[in-house]
Chain A
């Protein structure tokens, strides 16, 4: 068991997600940075899909009631055990009675804290992930609070000091480049607007969470004139409410793009200009507000090639620990 002394800003239990229920509005959920989620688990000898803690901007303070192996990946959020510094991306032991806490965030946005044995909250619809909007899964369907007692499974014994080499820890560029496949309702904007969309440097807005990331600062998109289709609504950015793909980029009113993420709203009435490729979704979860970013157009071939490279990268991470 692990006692929550301080919860951090928004710490939730996440695994690799809850596919299969998007048709009734229950999103994928799961860690926003999936590679970091897997890596944290690998380091402590868990299955890659075990439940971990996802901490945003600020770490929690946790007291351990049993010995465990711990690893922290993703954002550079340096861990401490009873005040003594430990490395990120490296397994370390926490003894019964010791307290795990964190320094201030140095880089990135979301840290993944794996504990050997995994966080053993009940499996709901196939996953331990928290979907806070629907009060579903995780620890009582919500972010952690002081006083919570997290159940932990029984782990395999692994060595302390297992580490993922620095060259395999993914770093965001500056500006961050988000590759996307134009499509869906791309035809709603003019050719010039499409050009501007890719030319402009956008900045992550403060409204950036597990549901979606909003971007500001680019030029407003100009629409192709139309007579509103019945049921769509009068704004040129409205469509008859449709499904929103995970990673899709909607632009309400043509002003601020929003990329939907793991806790996505599953559908709605705003047009979308395309979809961020699967290989770049992890990166979004590590963007802090005000980070500059630009969208880069790729075709489907490009998206699939990036996906292969991502898979090869994951194999290298696995190989580095075997």
Chain B
């Protein structure tokens, strides 16, 4: 990993930890972000972690760009020495795979897809050597995923699968982006999963839909009353496959204000994870259901 700094005009500094994605790069970005936040540098207006990079926005009338850059480099040294352990949350997200709404949408945009003759999930199963949609759903939902970035649009999580690289699901984005994606679609592009927080354009493959809102600008949904976006970088997500009956029941519960997401606090150590990935993931699952 080699850190690269670049000015983004006169108001931003962009820091790339690595060209390629890895949990190491993500943790470093997260730690620099935290260090910058803790340092409370005057003039800094936005501190944004991303998958393998981070960015700050600042007011150059308050702090000169060169001074800002020097501060960041100092904080990079602090972040590098930090032990890769975080206190975070694990959240269960119910997913209705192969649902009728994403299916209707993907059929409407078939000519923009690599493989117009299959559905997104059939295509992704095939190129990842998985045994059809069922095999795909199993691979997708059996390991946890890291929220490695929140953004694109309000509250949208990018998710990084917590398995060895050779087992990670990879799928290209659509050849040309769609102009429509149902709200709460569970998607995938490159090595990243996502949940579309709002309806709109998108280029990720579509595998299913969750009944659980993750963004509520009106803050009426019980678990989004404190803040309108559910996810923070560093959260861990575990998918739970559900069927139509469970989907409808959860939607009704959300509307009635009776739904509470399954969510637990957990400590995650990157070293322990690398020592034995399956054991670490089993432990996370126990915390979630314990």
Contacts and interface: CB of A to CB of B under 8 A. Distances in A.
Interface of A: 19-20, 22-26, 124, 131, 133-137, 141, 180-181, 183-184, 229-234, 238-243, 245-248, 265-269, 274-278, 300, 303-304, 307, 311
Contacts of B49: 23
Contact of A181 (B9, B61, B153, B190): B9
Contacts of A180: 9
A72 B156 CA distance: 37
Interface string B183-195: 0000001111000
Contacts, number: 178
Nearest to A243: B55
Contact of B173 (A24, A233, A267, A276): A233
A233 B177 CA distance: 14
Contacts of A137: 217
Given A19-B45, A184-B8, A229-B21, 20 more contacts: A22-B57, A25-B197, A131-B154, A134-B153, A136-B228, A183-B6, A231-B21, A231-B52, A241-B158, A241-B192, A243-B55, A246-B11, A247-B8, A266-B153, A267-B48, A268-B152, A274-B8, A303-B10, A304-B60, A307-B61
5 contacts: A124-B217, A241-B192, A245-B11, A278-B9, A300-B65
B190 A24 contact: no
B217 A269 contact: no
A303 B8 CA distance: 11
A17 B188 CA distance: 32
Nearest to B231: A24
B25 to A, nearest CB: 8
Nearest to A303: B10
B153 A265 contact: yes
A269 B53 CA distance: 12
Interface stretch (B12-20, B88-96, B115-123, B125-133): B12-20
Nearest to B66: A300
Nearest to A268: B152
A166 B154 CA distance: 40
Contacts of A303: 9-10
B152 A25 contact: yes
Interface-central residue, B53, B217, B233, by most chain A CB under 10 Å:
B217
- Determine which residue in A23, A136, A141, A184 has the highest number of CB atoms from chain B within 10 A of its CB, and name it: A23
Nearest to B191: A231
B149 to A, nearest CB: 6
A280 to B, nearest CB: 9
Contacts of A184: 6, 8, 14
Interface of B: 6-12, 14, 16, 18-22, 33, 45-55, 57, 60-61, 65, 149-156, 158, 165, 172-173, 189-192, 197-198, 200, 215, 217, 228-229, 231-233
Contacts of B172: 233-234
A26 B190 contact: no
Interface of A is mostly: mixed
B154 A241 contact: no
B21 A243 contact: no
Nearest to A231: B21
A307 to B, nearest CB: 6
A201 B7 CA distance: 25
A241 B217 contact: no
B55 A232 contact: no
A134 B154 contact: yes
A242 B16 contact: yes
Contact of B50 (A229, A267, A274): A267
A102 to B, nearest CB: 30
A231 B158 CA distance: 12
B150 A24 contact: yes
B10 A245 contact: no
Nearest to A279: B10
Given A229-B19, A232-B20, A267-B151, A243 B7 contact: no
A131 B228 CA distance: 14
Contacts of B217: 124, 134-137, 141
